[in-house]
Amino acid sequence: MQFTRRELGVAAFAAVTAFCAYTAIFSFRKAFNVGAFAGHTLWGMDYKIVLVVSQVFGYMLSKFYGIRFIAGMQRKNRHWLILGLTGAAWLAWALFALVPPPYNWWCLFLNGFPLGMLWGVVFSYIEGRRTTDMISAALAVSFIFASGLAKSVAQWVMEGWGITEYGMPFVVGCVFMPVLIVFVLLLEKIPPPGPADKEQRMERLPMSAAERRGLLVRFWPGISLLVLIYVLVTILREVRDSFMADMWRASGEHFQPGVFAGTESLISLVILVMIAAMSWLQHNFRAFFVTQWIMLAGFALALTGAMLFSAGQLGMYAWMLLAGLGLYMVYIPFNSLLFDRFIAAFRFTGNVGFLIYIADSFGYLGSVGVMLAKTVFRLELNWLDFYTGLVKIAGVTGLAGTALSMYWFRKKYRENTAGLQQRD
C-alpha cells in the first residue's frame, strides 16, 4: 500500500515538530558536558565525574519509574507534562549556578530525573503509524544533532558571552526554552493514527500490569538479548557524549567550538536516511529483522574503527565520526523503529514506551556502573584510551548478542505464524 499525500504531509509535519522539540529538550541535559569543572574533588573522585554520574543516576531512576508510568500514560495533557518536566530540569540548572561547587553536585540529580521521562512522552505522539519509521527517524537523530548543537552553543556562550561553566547550562536553557514552547504546542496539532495505521501497526494503548507481565513472559529470551545489546551501546554513547571534549583534549588535537555539531550533523544525516528508508518496507517482521542487520553492521563498523585508531591509522576526527556512526546504527533503531515494528510483527496491543524504558533503565544502570568503576578502581587510562577499549569489548559482545537475537526472533516468528495458521 502506497502512502497517501495526507499521510506524507502529516509525517513531514510530525517529523519536523518532534525533531525540533526534542532538540530543544536535549539542550537542557547535555550542554554542561563541555565544561571541564576542574579544581575540585568530592569523595576522592574527580568533580566532573561526580556531576556526570549524578545526572545519569537521576536519569536512570527516572527510566525505572518510567517503565510503569510511560506504559500506562493516558494520551491527554501531554504538552503540559513536557513543559513541566523540562521546567523542573531548568530550575535545577539555576540552583547549580547559585550553589557553590562542589556542594552543588546534587543539582545534577534533580536535572536528570525529570528529563528521563521525556523521550517516552514525545514518542507517544508518533508511534503506531504506517509512517512512524520516517517520523521516528527524525526524532531519534535529533539527539545526535542536538548533542553536538548543545555543546557548540555551550562553548559559544562561554567564549562569546563570558559566562562561567557553572552558569552556562542555565543560559543555554534560556536560548532553547522559547523554541521548546513553540514546538511542544505544535506536537498537540499532530493528528492521531487512523484506521489504516491501526490495521497495519496495531492500536497503541496504555498497558496494565498483567499485560506487561504477559509480554515479558512470552518474549523474555529475545527481550533479554536486546536489553544486553542496548546496555552496551548506552554505555558507549554516555561515555562519548559526556567526555568527548575530554577525549579531544587527551588526543592533543585542537578542536573548534563547531567540531561537535560538525561530526554529529554528518552522522545524523546518514542515520536519518537509513532509518527513514525503512518506511517503504511494509512487511513488519522483515523490517524488524533488517533493522537488526543494521545493528550488526554498526557494531562491526565501530569495532573496525577502534582497531584502526589503536593502530594509528585513523585521526581523531575520523575516529570520533566512525565510532559515533557505528554506535548510533545500533542505538537509534531502539529509539525509533525496532520496538514499533516488533509490536506490529507479533500482533499485540501495547506501546513502545514500556519496552524502551526497560532497555533504557538497564542501559543507564550499566553507564553508571562503568563510570564509577573507572574512578573507584582508579584505572590509569585517560578517557580516550578508556573509550577505545570499551568500543572493542562492546563490538565483540554486541556482534554475538545481535546474532543470537536474530536467531531467536526468527524462530519465535515462525512458531507464531504457524500457530496463527493452525487457528485459521
The DSSP code sequence of 258-302 is THHHHHHHHHHHHHHHHHHGGGG---HHHHHHHHHHHHHHHHHHH
Residue 311: is it exposed, middle or buried by C-beta count within 10 angstroms (0-12/13-18/19+)? exposed
Is the predicted pLDDT of residue 422 greater than 60, yes or no? no
Residues forming beta bridges with residue 350, ordered by sequence position: 204
* Residue 72 cell numbers, joined: 500506562
**Predicted local confidence at residue 419, as pLDDT:** 62
pLDDT category of residue 238 using cuts at 50, 70 and 90 = confident
Is the predicted pLDDT of residue 225 greater than 60, yes or no? yes
pLDDT category of residue 14 using cuts at 50, 70 and 90 = very high
Lowest mean per-residue pLDDT among 126-130, 155-159, 261-265, 324-328? 261-265
* Residue 330 cell numbers, joined: 545500533
pTM exceeding the 0.75 threshold for the entire prediction: yes
C-alpha distance across the termini of the chain, in Å = 24
Percent of all residues in the chain with a pLDDT value above 70, rounded to a whole number: 96
CATH 1.20.1250.20 fits 5-423, yes or no: yes
Which of these, 358, 308, 351, 345, lies nearest to 123 by C-alpha position?
351
Which of these, 355, 320, 334, lies nearest to 239 by C-alpha position?
320
Is the predicted pLDDT of residue 255 greater than 70, yes or no? no
**Predicted local confidence at residue 189, as pLDDT:** 96
Which of these, 166, 154, 172, 145, lies nearest to 90 by C-alpha position?
172
**Predicted local confidence at residue 2, as pLDDT:** 78
Neighbouring residues of 251: CB distance < 8 A, sequence distance ≥ 6: 316, 384
The pLDDT mean for the chain works out to 90
Model pLDDT for residues 261-270, shown as the tens digit of each residue: 677 778 888 8
What is the CB-side half-sphere exposure of residue 326 using CA atoms within 13 A?
A: 27
Model pLDDT for residues 152-201, shown as the tens digit of each residue: 899 899 988 999 999 999 999 999 999 999 999 999 999 999 999 998 88
**Predicted local confidence at residue 257, as pLDDT:** 57
Q: What is the C-alpha separation between 339 and 295, in angstroms, rounded?
A: 14
Strands 45-46 and 41-42: antiparallel
* Residue 389 cell numbers, joined: 577499549
Is the predicted pLDDT of residue 298 greater than 90, yes or no? yes
Model pLDDT for residues 27-77, shown as the tens digit of each residue: 999 888 888 898 888 888 889 889 988 998 999 999 999 999 999 998 889
- Please list, residue by residue across 377-388, b when 16 or more beta carbons sit within 10 angstroms of its beta carbon and e when fewer do: eeeeeebbebbb
**Predicted local confidence at residue 268, as pLDDT:** 82
pLDDT category of residue 142 using cuts at 50, 70 and 90 = confident
Cis before 178? omega within 30: no
**Predicted local confidence at residue 303, as pLDDT:** 96
